[in-house]
């Protein structure tokens, strides 16, 4: 950080609101004192917004011990300064506190300007009170300077990044990265609320180098991730890379530049499980673990239902930190205080006219209390784009909060053809449209049928920016996205409800997008965007014939689509139209997450797998179980393919050829160790197999004893190898506990319309 110390940075503290300023002041006290600071109820604080008892060693290393009291004075008229007469009531309270021995040291925080003369006058009054030995006042300028001087404080309160001039806080390189992150958020960072989810995420990122942010749509995962990225850039000098795929991680991870933060939004799929992405990330887990050991930091976000679906196939033993419960943050667990602050910020700092703020003010407490409330609801309520047709009343506001997709559908129905075409262009690119915009002929035809043009789409994307769309700089190019994933959900519903639009979409969208977005009519799956009726099966199947499947990624995409999204009728038609398909479903390598096996299991379940193909698959599973220690044969969705005698034969051979020779297998692995992989990762496949063997042979005490001994041998080998992987993390960041009241008798919304 190279702050320009000669310049005073204006952090516009008056935009925080009284409650957020109080919380900032308590955080500053904690950062300065280095100890817990207690804050009190806002209406019954007894003249103390914060208190502390102990020893304070200030900047000149002069220690002060005893009782400390802090009081905050917030004013929208921040230029007026603060005078003794403004503190008449506080002075009386200070006298009572001092008489009780609770205010030996009295600290005043104010967002107003504080001149030297005003500071001198205030000091004379407060230090003239019996029992107060020391008085300190922190005005707007001093607080801003503290923020400039402390990257740690900025990480604690990332909202301040959106309030000041980044060029005066960060060096040029870091400043450009920070601006790119801020641009992707728009002005959302200036409304950021320091939640418990953020605090736990920051702690996990420091202690583990990894955090997985889980939550429902619209709960604020990406905002927390961006705030963590800014803090890492500021506090640790980490270069930030926002990635879309595991290939990008491999490309950007550099052992010679370990201080890098990798941020992956929707790692396992945007609206439903992307099995190809899940498999690719699972293969990359050992590399991620190695990068973290060398100082990199990694942030994943995912919708919770997607993560739960993908979890069983992630092979988390390859990335032990993911299994640690403390790095899984359910960010929708927002406290009542945090809900109110989020809603306050968006109404106060949004673009709504004063008349709307006054009209909606009486209902804000109820909105924050609604169990369906999310940060995205607060953003929309603070944006006049979404409330043009809203008549403010209790019932309409309840509907606004509890039926966000339906409400967005109403908004979409008011848009003209060019705006709808712009949203369709993003939709046809799976939510990410590169700029400058170049569309395929099929996409241009789709836009033409919608009544749009390429020029009109470009203009509309800019018009909708900030409300329905956003533009960010990723991987060296600009990308248009929906402002929030729930907008994509609503547009998908909009498409599905219109037969003409459905024809346009199924005929014009790229196939790799269709595989992610659509499913057959009777397939139940969270996150499916468009249901394909039986009348449209031939349309999809005929388009699939043109899909290039020579690459493993495309082949996997087709297989996952058939296994997860298609019903009996669709698959029957597909097999008739593609008579050679069954012969292509070979199982000749380690089958963990093998899409061919998924399709085979699906066909067997619905009665479309010929017996000769089933027998060939059983033989392949047997061979892989012995030669590659593969245990997929024992999984419930694969075991159904095997007869009792086939399953028994595999188990007998595993006992004789694998478990009885386990010591030799471990020795062979150890002798081949390349000293480039982390030891735990190196043995993870065998360790994973042994864990499965323990379950498979749980009734055989002799085998379980052999397996327990084998696990001990592996631990010894890992311990011996680990000396080459000793890691001493340098910067340890501890988030002090702040006791913040959530039972405010004074409404946080008091000044929302000022």
- Digit-coded pLDDT (tens) for 603-639: 999 999 999 999 999 999 999 999 988 888 988 888 9
**Both tokens assigned to 532:** 């394909």
Residues 213 and 352 reside in one and the same domain: no
Task: Yes or no: say if 512 and 554 are a contact pair by the CB < 8 Å rule.
Answer: yes
Is the domain of 46 the same as that of 141?
yes
In a shared domain, residues 112 and 40:
yes
H or E stretch including 434?
strand 433-435
565 in a structural domain = no
Helix H or strand E encompassing 480: strand 477-482
Examine the domain organization and report whether 107 and 180 are in the same domain: no
Dist CA 509 CA 267 (whole Å): 22
- Residue where a domain stops, chosen among 290, 310, 330: 330
Q: Is residue 294 part of a domain?
A: yes
Residue 479 lies in a domain: yes
Same domain, 653 and 666: no
Total structural domains within the chain: 6
More confident call, 696 vs 223: 696
Domain assignment of residue 20, yes or no = yes
Give the E-state strand segments of 220-358 in sequence order.
239-243, 260-264, 297-303, 328-330
* Cα–Cα distance, 576 to 571 (Å, whole number): 9
Question: What are the structure tokens assigned to 30, written together?
Answer: 């904690």
**Are residues 370 and 319 part of one domain?**
no
The domain boundary residue, chosen from 553, 588, 614:
553
CA distance 63 to 57: 4
The chain-wide mean pLDDT, for the chain, equals: 81
Shared-domain flag, residues 74 and 218? no
CA separation for the pair 527, 405 (Å, rounded): 13
177 and 111 assigned to the same domain: no
Tens of pLDDT, residues 110-139: 989 888 889 999 999 999 999 999 898 999
Is residue 28 domain-shared with residue 137, that is, in the same domain? yes
Which residues are paired to 260 by β-bridges? 239
Per-residue pLDDT tens digits for 151-184 = 777 777 777 766 665 555 555 544 455 556 656 6
Query: Are 418 and 548 in a shared domain?
Result: yes
* Domain around 680: 662-727
Question: DSSP secondary structure string, 255-291?
Answer: TTS--EEEEETTTT-SSS--HHHHHHHHHHHHHHHHH
* Sheet of 469-474, strand order: 433-435, 477-482, 469-474
**588 burial via Cβ count (<10 Å: 0-12, 13-18, 19+):** exposed
406-445 pLDDT tens trace: 778 888 888 899 999 999 999 888 788 999 999 888 888 8
Which range is least confidently modeled, 145-149, 406-410, 442-446, 527-531?
Answer: 527-531
Distance CA 587, CA 679 (A): 29
Q: What is the pLDDT of residue 217?
A: 72
The DSSP result for 506-573, as a single string, is: HHHS-HHHHHHHEEETT---TT--EEEPGGGHHHHHHHHTTS---SHHHHHHHHHHHHHH--HHHHHH
- Written as six digits, the tokens of 460 are 């509309």
Structure tokens at 750: 């008091």
Residue 118 lies in a domain: yes
Residue 447 has pLDDT above 50, yes or no: yes
Distance between CA atoms of 18 and 111, rounded to whole angstroms?
9
35 part of a folded domain? yes
pLDDT at 743 over 70: no
Model pLDDT, residue 33: 58
Confidence of residue 738 (pLDDT cuts 50, 70, 90): very low
198 in the same domain as 294: yes
Give the residue carrying structure tokens 């905050």. Answer: 72
Asked if the model's pLDDT at residue 8 lies above 70, the reply is no
In this prediction, residues 305-328 reach a mean pLDDT of: 74
The secondary structure element, H or E, covering residue 367 is helix 364-369
pTM of the model: 0.60
Cis omega (within 30 of 0) for bond into 436: yes
């Amino acid at each position: 950080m190279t702050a320009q110390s000669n310049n005073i940075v204006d952090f516009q503290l008056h935009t925080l609101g009284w409650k957020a300023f109080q919380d900032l002041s308590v955080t500053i006290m904690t950062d300065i004192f280095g100890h817990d600071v207690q804050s009190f109820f806002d209406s019954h604080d007894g003249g103390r917004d914060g208190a502390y008892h102990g020893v304070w060693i200030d900047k000149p290393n002069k220690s002060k011990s005893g009782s400390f009291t802090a009081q905050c004075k917030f004013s929208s008229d921040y230029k007026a300064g603060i005078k003794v007469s403004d503190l008449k009531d506080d002075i009386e309270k200070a006298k009572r506190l001092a008489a009780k021995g609770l205010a030996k040291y009295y600290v005043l925080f104010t967002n107003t300007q504080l001149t030297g003369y005003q500071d001198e006058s205030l000091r004379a009054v407060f230090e003239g009170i019996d029992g107060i030995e020391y008085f300190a006042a922190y005005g707007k300028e001093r607080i801003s300077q503290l923020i400039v001087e402390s990257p740690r404080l900025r990480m604690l309160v990332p909202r301040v990044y959106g309030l000041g001039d980044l060029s005066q806080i960060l060096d040029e390189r870091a400043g450009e990265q920070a601006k790119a992150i801020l641009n992707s958020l728009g002005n959302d960072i200036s409304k950021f609320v320091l939640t418990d989810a953020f605090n736990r995420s920051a702690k996990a990122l420091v202690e583990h180098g990894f955090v997985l942010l889980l939550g429902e749509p619209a709960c604020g995962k990406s905002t927390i991730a961006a705030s963590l990225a800014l803090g890492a850039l500021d506090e640790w000098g980490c270069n930030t890379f926002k990635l879309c795929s595991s290939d990008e991680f491999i490309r950007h991870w550099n052992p010679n530049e370990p201080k890098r933060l990798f941020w992956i939004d929707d790692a396992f799929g945007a609206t439903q499980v992307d099995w190809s992405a899940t498999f690719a990330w699972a293969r990359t887990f050992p590399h991620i673990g190695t990068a973290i050991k060398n100082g990199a930091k990694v942030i994943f976000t995912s919708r919770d239902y997607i993560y739960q679906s993908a979890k069983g196939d992630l092979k988390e033993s390859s990335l032990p930190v993911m299994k640690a419960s403390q790095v899984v943050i359910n960010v929708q667990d927002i406290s009542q205080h945090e809900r109110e602050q989020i809603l306050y910020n968006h109404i106060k700092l949004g673009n709504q006219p004063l008349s709307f703020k006054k009209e909606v003010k009486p209902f804000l407490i109820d909105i924050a209390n609604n169990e369906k409330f999310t940060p995205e609801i607060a953003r929309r309520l603070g944006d006049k784009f979404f409330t043009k047709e809203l008549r403010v009343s209790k019932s309409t506001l309840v509907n606004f909060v509890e039926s966000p997709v339906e409400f967005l559908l109403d908004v979409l129905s008011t848009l003209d053809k060019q705006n709808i075409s712009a949203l369709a262009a993003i939709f046809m690119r799976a939510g990410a449209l590169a700029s400058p915009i170049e569309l395929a002929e099929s996409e241009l035809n789709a836009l033409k049928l919608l009544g749009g043009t390429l020029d009109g789409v470009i203009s509309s994307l800019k018009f909708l920016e900030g409300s329905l769309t956003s533009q960010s700089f990723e991987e060296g190019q600009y990308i248009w996205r929906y402002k929030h994933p729930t907008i994509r959900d609503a547009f998908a519903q909009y498409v599905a409800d219109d037969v003409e639009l459905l024809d346009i979409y199924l005929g014009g969208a790229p196939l790799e997008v269709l595989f992610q977005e659509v499913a057959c009519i009777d397939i139940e799956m969270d996150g499916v965007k468009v249901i394909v009726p039986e009348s449209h099966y031939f349309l999809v199947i005929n388009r699939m014939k043109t899909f290039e499947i020579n690459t493993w990624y495309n082949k996997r995409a087709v297989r996952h689509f058939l296994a997860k999204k298609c019903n009996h009728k669709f698959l029957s038609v597909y097999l008739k139209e593609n008579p050679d398909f069954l012969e292509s479903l070979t199982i000749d390598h380690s089958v963990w997450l093998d899409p061919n096996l998924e399709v085979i299991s699906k066909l067997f379940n619905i009665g479309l797998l010929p017996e000769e193909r089933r027998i060939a698959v059983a033989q392949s599973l047997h061979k892989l179980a012995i030669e590659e220690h593969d245990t997929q044969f024992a999984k419930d969705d694969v075991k159904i393919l095997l007869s009792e005698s086939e399953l028994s034969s595999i188990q007998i051979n595993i006992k004789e050829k694998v478990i009885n020779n386990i010591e030799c297998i471990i020795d062979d692995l150890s002798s081949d160790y390349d000293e480039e992989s982390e030891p735990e990762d190196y043995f993870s496949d065998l360790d994973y197999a042994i864990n499965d063997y323990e379950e498979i042979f749980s009734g055989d005490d002799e085998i379980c004893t052999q397996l327990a001994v084998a696990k001990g041998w592996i631990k010894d080998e890992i311990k011996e190898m680990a000396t080459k992987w000793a890691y001493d993390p340098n910067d340890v960041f501890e988030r002090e506990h702040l006791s913040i009241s959530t039972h405010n008798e004074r409404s946080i919304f008091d000044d929302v319309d000022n």
